[in-house]
Structure 1
Amino acid sequence: MNVQVIMQDGRPAFAVMPFAQYEQLLKKAEMTENQADKLTFPQEVIDYKYDNNCSFIKAWRVYLKKTQKEVAEALGITQSAYSQIENAESNQKSTLEKVSKVLGLEIEQLTLED
């Protein structure tokens, strides 16, 4: 990134950059804001995930007061198969899409990186 820093009283006061770079930064910031606006995580979900060392899928299910059996039935699979989804290191995108739909969430709310 081509940036010129202008000092004032020995401290950085301004950053000057090509306008195209400035526009790119604005676009990235706007995308980040839009994504942040869309994704919400109740503190209870975060706490449960880290207190119990479990997936976001399980934390959300518990928060939504659903049983594994209820979610499994909505997905058309067995409770055992659903348990494997909750405990997997990673899941296929198609699986995450189905689970997020059943739980009424965005797929990103199930896959947010730690």
Structure 2
Amino acid sequence: MNAWTNAQTIVGADGKPAFVVLPYQEFLNLYREQELIPHAVVQAAILSDATPVKAWREHLRLLQQEVALRLGISQPAYARQENSRKPRPRTLEKIAAALGLTPEQINF
């Protein structure tokens, strides 16, 4: 791949690449493209028995009210969706979009 990048390679003491530094926005773009799930989200879902939707919302530091506003629904209606163990696929798509995620990221 010969695409231009603003990445900077940092070489270790052994002369081999050890780290890559890149602009934060490029990192976010790569992060979103890869559909990654942060460890903190998985950990919250497992250890706290939170739904993936709730774990993501808390990771993104959003209130239920904020997500409800993005969805155009009431906070209690959103709370029911967030706590559902088997939300409908279309509901997951809408919540994922409201959180800036893909349905695959939110449905693990």
Same fold (TM over 0.5): yes
Aligned to 2:35: 39
Aligned to 2:103: 107
Q: How does 1:72-111 map to 2 (within 5 A)?
A: 72-111=68-107
Structure 1 residue 53 and structure 2 residue 49: aligned?
Answer: yes
The percentage of counterpart residues that share the same residue type is 37
Unmatched segments (≥5 aa) in structure 2: 1-32
User: Deviation at 1:108?
Assistant: 0.8
**Max radius of gyration: which structure?**
1
User: Deviation at 1:39?
Assistant: 2.6
User: Deviation at 1:46?
Assistant: 1.0
Q: Which runs of 4+ in 1 moved over 4 A?
A: none
Number of aligned pairs? 76
Q: RMSD of the alignment, in Å?
A: 1.2
Aligned to 2:86, what secondary structure does the other structure show? Answer: coil
User: Deviation at 1:38?
Assistant: 2.8
Task: Tell me, in whole angstroms, the C-alpha distance in 2 between the residues paired with 1:84 and 1:49.
Answer: 17
C-alpha distance after superposition, 1:11-34 (max 9, x if no partner): xxxxxxxxxxxxxxxxxxxxxxxx
Name the one with the larger helix percent: 1
- Using the size of structure 1 for normalisation, the TM-score is 0.63
- Using the size of structure 2 for normalisation, the TM-score is 0.66
Unmatched segments (≥5 aa) in structure 1: 1-36
